[in-house]
């Protein structure tokens, strides 16, 4: 058991993956000599050489497109997209090529590719550096989408994602890169398992990645007011871990989903719709969503007003708890 | 002030003329002229008749496939067909210049190349009959699936070549794309990437003069072989309807590429003799003159003349006609026996590892089907 | 009042827009001399010249990117994407540039651009020609997303979209291009209004574009069984016409959303979540969704198994009607 | 068989050598050398001292802005700063060659160009202080917003130029982008599009040798000016640290473009003297030698020497120092008085026409804020 930052845990996980399988190659802009703009790949090129930790030209479609070629040649590429807002030039290669190639080939081709995306806001960045675009990928059949929230999961999930035979979009909560936590000697969940934190007899908060810490803080505050509020760290956005999610929703009967992305058409909509479809009779109030407002990510000076915060989450819990059918 | 006025007002000072300017299109490399006679270059190279016959045979069979497939489409047996008539020399000449281990990333009109790689008629027609997205095993044939999103395959080719280099093998990669696709960002990213990393890729552009209704002349501001050289790779400009020249040029490019000197580019001038697809009406955008002109440059009849000239026996041609007729029958029966997939199987083709949504939906689909079948 | 095909109505609407405002320019691959692969722009280049109906190079990012430049120069570009599956190379220009430029400029810039996308399946096409990707755009703040289902709406909505000062993603139901219908002399709804068809005392079907005809057929079949099932033709996917949608949902108390896109994270999730949030007390059963399965669009030979059909819609209506809280 | 063996085994037949090959990099056009002396070309062109002084002044003020902004960042008054130190000549020389009506589409490091277009310090610093995404009115300044998604602005420039041509005006467009951005599909689509349509765009690439940690040498396989010519437009290669040469070359390119002969390309060799941004540590990837070498090629000191040589009075330099000090004070106070927007206003900036979600959410936000303010 070791204490690491989330970024450090990713670094250690990538190192283990490179050691474990020589078909694993990392590729991306500035990931080699510089070690990545967040230093997640720090030291890896030095250790594994420029053939396994590849500084690429500045072209995201090229990164994903050539990764597909590498995978077809038997490699297991792990691509870094420098910031969330720069994944869109690669959208066709991800959504039309990477996601569909196995199905298009009638199940013959295998595309074990991981695309790492530092996502989310809250670090005072300039535009295009704080986006939460998980919903686009979660809606795309053929991809798997996961999101880690703490060092232990970061360490284990990145290795599980690389070991997966399927394409995985791997979201890293960039504002939690420097958070410290313990890394356990063994993974206790499969890649697509969700983690329940607390009991949630009164209400359930569903969150992922950067919003888990917020949800935990809100749950703690609610606890002080005498409510038992559980937090479900989704970890996997596609597929959802339905048994765990529905169990938790049924127990609580009141659910609030929290994420940074704009709510309209966000992953919270799918979660709300699914919970409602499966747990209608057990729900005491409608599933509520707290997310970014439905505007493009604002200038950093007002990002705290845009992002869900503890006040907005507590207000939503309140609304959920005080919901009256007759009202 | 109109543009003309500006132009006449001032001139760029001679010492400040641009240092790098578009150069004119180079003449194509040609061994065999439209009338089947050899050019000077062709004469000096000489012709290996047996080999030329084998190329000719593949072109004839590919043309036959094209004719039969169009007929099948017209009869409602195929949903759509994209003809490759006119481009047989560009495809057969190039693919025959590769080693068997070399990987090919085609676009979607490379039927002659596909046949040359052993893709069967049944495999080739399957997607156009709506039975699959890709009928063949790309790894086994060393011929990847067709790519319909234009240009995307050039990046896959580039990555595959990067993998070969990492693995230390000396196989190379060839990728086909069209004059229209060359306008896509992906193709240009691939050219730059392969050049920057000196990867073993042959970029083979079949400039068939048209991208649906858009002529090459309005698709670009300079000939493609010149663009490629500007990215840092040598480029050949070849008569794409001359199978011998295409073969020789591709061999040269493959040699360059295999020797570790980075990628190479070939622009083959050819012609899409038919419409863009069986749904297209080319009469809306191009004249009969042009079609006639290029009809006179047909890659197959030119080789027939040359081979005759070089003493090929009528027996050879007759044998090929018979083979071609047999092939036509095979194509037809292969087409009619292509089976639709069972829909429930598709759920298993999406992910390599278990996936709960797939399992749930497959079960739902099967339950629904039995329910409806039972007439509930 | 005139009878037109849906494609013909779009053609007539585009002609009217070109006549009404000389800043309107059409651009796209093969839209000029050929008149578009679906002939929607047939004859327009001849009438308005190659400067107003522009055949572009084959580059979707280029089409949207240059349209943005044209809009900044005072024009009102209407871009055609040849098929749904070819919009992804333009994704960055749509999602990061077109959608965000006005907000980025602090509200200074206006981007009156329409992007026409022939969407949906059912025409026996080869791969990438049958996609329903409305959810990606609906989740993107800064865009407006609409979908027409019949000739009259096609005629009026395309003109309203072009007249809008905001970017509009305009979905055309390609398999309905040849459907005939009457075009009224005046528009009876604003661009973002939904249209209620029938009463729906027992259940409500919510649909858009190509699925509206299917929903109407299902409603008719249900009617024969004695149920009053209404159909809400959404027309606008972003923003949703909430007053109309919630009214209808409340009246019926039972709702089924139908669309061709895969259900997971589709627009149906947003509709279900929104209805549930606002009408929880009025719902007699959970909102159900019928959509494409969560796999890449299959080969044409089995697309009818993939697409929602009348059986699946009727089964869902049945499930909704027979839903028992205790069950 | 290794690549070496293949290479030695066979050679491409001489008659089949590629017809189009990468040409070597052309020497840069230079008027003023690093030590401030004139080249032969510079001498033959002569120097308009008053004009040179005005260029020099803009460079000095831009450098001062860069220094002050970095200091403000270090003091926590800006979230981030991207320095343009070293690139002042490339920017001032080029933008001053345009007409006031010509539109400019910058990337994100064009601070010197921005100042030249009248963008104020307050407008320029606003995004880096987190107060806006773009501080200025792009239409009024004829200087569009910064574009952070690399290369996207080159297509906007191309479309804008298409609009000018449709409108029949004779203004042209210039767009800036970096050596790294040139690898993006969008930039190459723009080059092709503008060339195919013969649009009035000057593509101005500041090759500052680095894209964050990636040197230009591994970014591409051939010099950029050569790539542009391959797309069908003339290209200039200029010493980007020589403001007089940059100005002359841009004038020539603008003349070409304005006269209706299609786009033009300029590759300006310059250097990013600082890190990529205030968060970057360039020591991780580049050596001190290189930085020293380029330090000796500084665009500002070279002009100071030349102007001194040409008899510019010390008074001019002293006056400029004073102006620069004043400017520094203005920058600081402008920065500190930049105000954060009111969040509720942002809902009104997304759409030009009414939008129910915006209205609802604005109301919700305001209600929530009052509720929390009231301490409920
Ligand atoms: C990204 C993309 N955009 C549009 C299309 C539609 N489309 C199919 S083929 C074609 C023309 C392609 O021309 P070219 O590359 O010259 O190949 P050719 O058909 O001539 O073989 C177009 C526009 C597509 N397949 N992919
Ligand atoms: C599409 C995209 N990918 C990645 C980035 C992250 N990024 C910002 S600047 C930069 C380097 C750009 O280099 P260059 O174009 O040479 O411009 P310079 O910074 O040298 O001025 C990178 C990789 C981005 N802004 N946009
Ligand atoms: Mg073509
Ligand atoms: Mg640079």
Contact B22 D196 (CB under 8 A): no
Number of domain units in chain A: 2
Token representation of residue B180: 């229209």
Same domain for A37 and A113? Answer: yes
Token representation of residue D139: 């239409």
Label residue C62 by pLDDT band (50, 70, 90): very high
Q: A284 lies in a domain?
A: yes
Same domain for A12 and A45? Answer: yes
CA distance D226 to chain B (A): 5
Q: What's the confidence (pLDDT) of residue D48?
A: 98
Q: What's the confidence (pLDDT) of residue D376?
A: 59
Q: At what angle do helices D185-197 and C60-72 cross, to 10 degrees?
A: 70
Cβ atoms of C6 and C181 within 8 Å: the answer is: yes
Q: Count Cβ–Cβ pairs < 8 Å, chain A vs chain C.
A: 142
- DSSP letter at D284 equals G
Is the pLDDT at A51 greater than 80? The verdict is yes
Q: Give me the residue from A57, A92, A112 closest to B196, CB to CB.
A: A57
Select from A183, A209, A227 the last residue of a domain: A183
A141 to chain B: which residues are within 8 Å by CB? Answer: 350
Is the pLDDT at B4 greater than 60? The verdict is no
Q: C220 lies in a domain?
A: yes
User: Which residues of B make CB contacts under 8 Å with C?
Assistant: 79-80, 127-133, 148-150, 180-181, 183-186, 211-214, 218-220, 279, 284-285, 340-343, 346-347, 349-350, 357-358, 361, 365, 368, 371-372
Q: What's the confidence (pLDDT) of residue B11?
A: 77
**Terminus-to-terminus CA distance in chain C, angstroms?**
51
Maximum Cα–Cα distance across chain D: 87
CA distance B198 to chain C (A): 26
Select from A183, A207, A241 the last residue of a domain: A183
Same domain for C157 and C280? Answer: no
Which of these ranges, B22-36, B80-94, C34-48, C280-294, has the smallest mean pLDDT? Answer: B22-36
Cβ atoms of B353 and A164 within 8 Å: the answer is: yes
Same domain for C202 and C178? Answer: no
Same domain for A23 and A172? Answer: yes
Q: In chain A, how many H helices and how many E strands?
A: 12, 14
Q: What's the confidence (pLDDT) of residue A326?
A: 56
Q: A188 lies in a domain?
A: no
Distance CA(A76)–CA(A163), nearest Å, equals 9
Same domain for C24 and C78? Answer: yes
| Residue of chain D whose alpha carbon sits nearest to that of A301 | D130
Burial of A281 (0-12, 13-18, 19+ CB in 10 A): middle
Tell which residue, B23, B192, B8, has the closest CA to residue D234: B23
Q: Which atom of ligand 1 is nearest to the CA of B108?
A: 21
Residue C163: give the domain boundaries.
2-183
Residue closest by Cα to atom 4 of ligand 2: A86
Distance CA(A285)–CA(A256), nearest Å, equals 10
Contact D167 C57 (CB under 8 A): no
Contact C69 D355 (CB under 8 A): no
Label residue D11 by pLDDT band (50, 70, 90): confident
* Partners of B183 in beta bridges: none
Q: What's the confidence (pLDDT) of residue D10?
A: 65
Q: Which atom of ligand 2 is nearest to the CA of D211?
A: 13
Q: What's the confidence (pLDDT) of residue D2?
A: 41
Contact C101 D145 (CB under 8 A): yes
Q: What CATH number did the domain enclosing A127 receive? A: 3.40.50.970
Distance CA(B184)–CA(B180), nearest Å, equals 8
CA distance C124 to chain B (A): 7
Is the pLDDT at B2 greater than 50? The verdict is no
* Partners of C290 in beta bridges: C258
Q: What CATH number did the domain enclosing C243 receive? A: 3.40.50.920
Q: Among all chains, which residue has been given the structure tokens 């641009």?
A: B18
Q: A257 lies in a domain?
A: yes
Tell which residue, B127, B124, B103, has the closest CA to residue B114: B124
Label residue D187 by pLDDT band (50, 70, 90): very high
Q: Give me the residue from B185, B341, B371 closest to C302, CB to CB.
A: B341
Q: Give me the residue from A61, A103, A166 closest to B189, CB to CB.
A: A61
Same domain for A168 and A54? Answer: yes
pLDDT in tens, A98-110: 999 999 999 999 9
Secondary structure (3-state) at A175: helix
Label residue C326 by pLDDT band (50, 70, 90): low
pLDDT in tens, A176-227: 999 999 999 999 999 999 999 999 999 999 999 999 999 999 999 999 999 9
Q: Give me the residue from D193, D220, D264 closest to B232, CB to CB.
A: D220
How does DSSP assign D208-251, residue by residue?
-SEETTEEHHHH-SS-HHHHHHHHTS-EEEEETT-HHHHHHHHH
Which of these ranges, B17-21, B148-152, D168-172, D250-254, has the smallest mean pLDDT? Answer: B17-21
Chains that touch C (3 or more CB pairs under 8 A): A, B, D
Tell which residue, D359, B280, A300, has the closest CA to residue C242: D359
How does DSSP assign A213-235, residue by residue?
HHHHHHHHHHHHTT--EEEEE--
Best of B108, B132, B359 to disrupt the C interface (most C CBs within 10 Å) is B132
Instruction: Supply the mean pLDDT for chain B.
Output: 95
CA of C36 to the centre of ligand 3 (A): 17
Label residue C307 by pLDDT band (50, 70, 90): very high
CA of C97 to the centre of ligand 2 (A): 16
- DSSP letter at A292 equals E
Contact C295 B128 (CB under 8 A): no
Q: Distances in Å between the alpha carbon of A120 and those of A205, A210, A267, B291?
A: 19, 7, 14, 56
Token representation of residue D175: 């767009």
Token representation of residue B318: 């007759």
Token representation of residue B109: 């009109």
Contact C66 D155 (CB under 8 A): yes
pLDDT in tens, B242-278: 999 999 999 999 999 999 999 999 999 999 999 999 9
Q: What's the confidence (pLDDT) of residue D14?
A: 85
Select from C155, C183, C211 the last residue of a domain: C183
Is the pLDDT at B3 greater than 50? The verdict is no
CA of D341 to the centre of ligand 3 (A): 51
Q: A54 lies in a domain?
A: yes
Label residue B10 by pLDDT band (50, 70, 90): low
Same domain for A163 and A44? Answer: yes
Label residue B5 by pLDDT band (50, 70, 90): very low
Strands A255-262 and A288-292: parallel
Is the pLDDT at A56 greater than 90? The verdict is yes
pLDDT in tens, B85-135: 999 999 999 999 999 999 999 999 999 999 999 999 999 999 999 999 999
* Partners of C203 in beta bridges: C229
Q: C253 lies in a domain?
A: yes
ipTM score of complex: 0.97
pLDDT in tens, D316-361: 999 999 999 999 999 999 999 999 999 999 999 999 999 999 999 9
Same domain for A66 and A213? Answer: no
Distance CA(A310)–CA(B344), nearest Å, equals 46
Secondary structure (3-state) at A2: strand
CA distance B219 to chain C (A): 5
Q: Which residues line ligand 1 (CB under 6 A)?
A: B 109, 148-150, 178-181, 208, 210-212, 272, 276; C 29, 58, 60, 82, 86, 89
Same domain for C215 and C170? Answer: no
Q: Which atom of ligand 1 is nearest to the CA of B87?
A: 21
Contact C262 A100 (CB under 8 A): no
Same domain for A294 and A202? Answer: yes
Q: C189 lies in a domain?
A: no
Strands (E), chain A: 2-5, 24-28, 53-55, 76-80, 114-119, 144-147, 168-173, 180-183, 195-197, 203-207, 229-233, 236-238, 255-262, 288-292
Question: How much of chain C is in helix, strand and coil states, percent to nearest 5?
Answer: 40, 20, 40
Best of C273, C290, C301 to disrupt the A interface (most A CBs within 10 Å) is C273
Cα dihedral B42, B45, B46, B47 sign: negative
Q: Which residues surround ligand 4, an ion (CB under 5 A)?
A: D 178-180, 208, 211
Label residue D8 by pLDDT band (50, 70, 90): very low
Q: Give me the residue from B181, B284, B371 closest to C58, CB to CB.
A: B181
Q: Distances in Å between the alpha carbon of D143 and those of C77, D111, D117, D157, D176?
A: 22, 11, 7, 11, 11
Q: Among all chains, which residue has been given the structure tokens 């996936």?
A: B355
Tell which residue, B165, B260, B251, B97, has the closest CA to residue D7: B260
Where residue B258 falls (left for φ over 0; alpha for ψ -120 to 50; beta otherwise) is alpha
Return residues 151-190 of A near B (CB < 8 Å).
164-166
Mean pLDDT of C150-174: 98
Best of D1, D2, D18 to disrupt the B interface (most B CBs within 10 Å) is D18
Q: A34 lies in a domain?
A: yes
CA distance C123 to chain D (A): 32
Contact A325 C281 (CB under 8 A): yes
Whether pTM exceeds 0.90: yes
Q: Which residues line ligand 2 (CB under 6 A)?
A: A 29, 58, 60, 82, 86, 89; D 109, 148-150, 178-181, 208, 210-212, 272, 276
Is the pLDDT at C165 greater than 50? The verdict is yes
Contact D133 C242 (CB under 8 A): no
Mean pLDDT of C304-319: 97
A241 to chain C: which residues are within 8 Å by CB? Answer: none
Q: Is C259 a catalytic residue?
A: no
Chains that touch D (3 or more CB pairs under 8 A): A, B, C
pLDDT in tens, B282-318: 999 999 999 999 999 999 999 999 999 999 999 999 9
Q: Give me the residue from C64, C73, C164 closest to D164, CB to CB.
A: C73
Distance CA(C241)–CA(C73), nearest Å, equals 32
Same domain for A16 and A106? Answer: yes
Is the pLDDT at B9 greater than 70? The verdict is no
Q: Among A129, A192, A208, A259, which one carries the catalytic annotation? A: A129
> Residue A55: nearest ligand to its CA?
2
Q: Distances in Å between the alpha carbon of C202 and those of C232, C243, C258?
A: 14, 19, 17
């Amino acid at each position: 058991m070791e204490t690491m930052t989330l970024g450090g845990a990713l670094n250690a996980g990538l190192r283990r993956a490179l050691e474990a399988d020589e078909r694993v190659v990392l590729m991306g802009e500035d990931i080699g000599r510089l070690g990545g703009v967040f230093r997640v790949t720090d030291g890896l090129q030095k250790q594994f050489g420029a053939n396994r930790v590849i500084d690429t030209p500045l072209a995201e479609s090229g990164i994903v497109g050539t990764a597909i070629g590498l995978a077809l040649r038997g490699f297991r590429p792990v691509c870094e997209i420098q910031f969330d807002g720069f994944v869109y030039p690669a959208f066709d290669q991800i959504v039309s090529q990477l996601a569909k190639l196995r199905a298009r080939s009638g199940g013959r081709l295998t595309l074990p590719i991981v695309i790492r995306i530092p996502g989310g806001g809250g670090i005072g960045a300039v535009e295009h550096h704080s986006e939460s675009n998980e919903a686009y990928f979660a809606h795309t059949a053929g991809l798997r989408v996961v999101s880690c929230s703490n060092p232990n999961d970061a360490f284990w999930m990145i290795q599980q994602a690389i070991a997966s035979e399927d394409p995985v979009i791997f979201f890293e909560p960039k504002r939690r890169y420097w958070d410290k936590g313990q890394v356990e000697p063994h993974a206790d969940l499969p890649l697509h398992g969700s983690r329940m934190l607390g009991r949630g007899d009164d209400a359930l908060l569903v969150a992922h990645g950067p919003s888990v810490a917020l949800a935990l803080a809100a749950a703690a505050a609610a606890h002080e007011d005498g409510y038992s509020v559980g937090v479900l760290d989704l970890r996997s956005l596609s597929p959802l871990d339905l048994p765990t999610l529905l169990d938790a929703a049924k127990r609580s009967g009141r659910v609030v989903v929290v994420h940074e992305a704009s709510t309209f058409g966000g992953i919270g909509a799918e979660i709300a719709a699914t919970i409602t479809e499966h747990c209608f009779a057990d729900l005491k109030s409608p599933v509520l969503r707290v997310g970014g407002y439905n505007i493009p990510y604002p200038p950093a000076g007002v990002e705290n007003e845009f992002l869900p915060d503890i006040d907005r989450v507590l207000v939503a819990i309140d609304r959920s708890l005080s919901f009256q059918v007759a009202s | 002030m109109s543009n003309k006025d500006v132009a006449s007002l001032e001139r760029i000072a001679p010492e400040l003329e641009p240092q790098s300017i578009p150069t004119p299109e180079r003449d194509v490399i040609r061994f065999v002229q439209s009338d089947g006679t050899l050019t000077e270059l062709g004469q000096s190279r000489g012709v290996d008749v047996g080999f030329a016959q084998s190329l000719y045979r593949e072109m004839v069979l590919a043309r036959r496939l094209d004719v039969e497939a169009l007929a099948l489409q017209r009869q409602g047996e195929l949903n759509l067909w994209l003809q490759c008539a006119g481009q047989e020399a560009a495809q057969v000449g190039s693919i025959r210049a590769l080693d068997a281990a070399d990987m090919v990333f085609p676009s979607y009109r490379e039927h002659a190349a596909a046949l040359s790689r052993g893709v069967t008629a049944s495999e080739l027609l399957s997607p156009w009959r709506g039975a699959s997205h890709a009928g063949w095993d790309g790894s086994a044939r060393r011929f990847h699936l067709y790519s319909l999103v234009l240009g995307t395959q050039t990046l896959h080719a580039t990555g595959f070549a990067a993998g070969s280099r990492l693995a230390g093998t000396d196989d190379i990669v060839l990728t086909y794309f069209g004059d229209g696709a060359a306008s896509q960002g992906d193709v240009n990213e691939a050219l730059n990437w392969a050049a920057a990393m000196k990867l073993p890729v042959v970029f083979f552009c079949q400039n068939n003069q048209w991208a649906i209704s858009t002529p090459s002349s309005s698709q670009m501001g300079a000939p493609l072989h010149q663009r490629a050289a500007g990215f840092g790779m040598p480029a050949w400009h070849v008569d794409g309807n001359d199978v011998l020249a295409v073969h020789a040029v591709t061999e040269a490019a493959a040699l360059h590429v295999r020797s570790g000197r980075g990628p190479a580019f070939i622009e083959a001038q050819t012609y899409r003799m038919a419409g863009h697809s069986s749904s297209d009406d080319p009469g809306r955008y191009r004249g009969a003159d042009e079609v006639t002109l290029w009809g006179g440059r047909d890659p197959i009849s030119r080789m027939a003349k040359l081979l005759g000239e070089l003493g090929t026996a009528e027996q050879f041609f007759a044998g090929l006609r018979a083979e071609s007729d047999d092939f036509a029958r095979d194509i037809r029966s292969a087409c009619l026996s292509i089976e639709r997939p069972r829909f429930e199987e598709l759920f298993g083709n999406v992910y390599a590892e278990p996936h709960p949504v797939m399992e749930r939906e497959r079960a739902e689909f099967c339950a629904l089907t039995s329910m409806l079948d039972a007439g509930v």
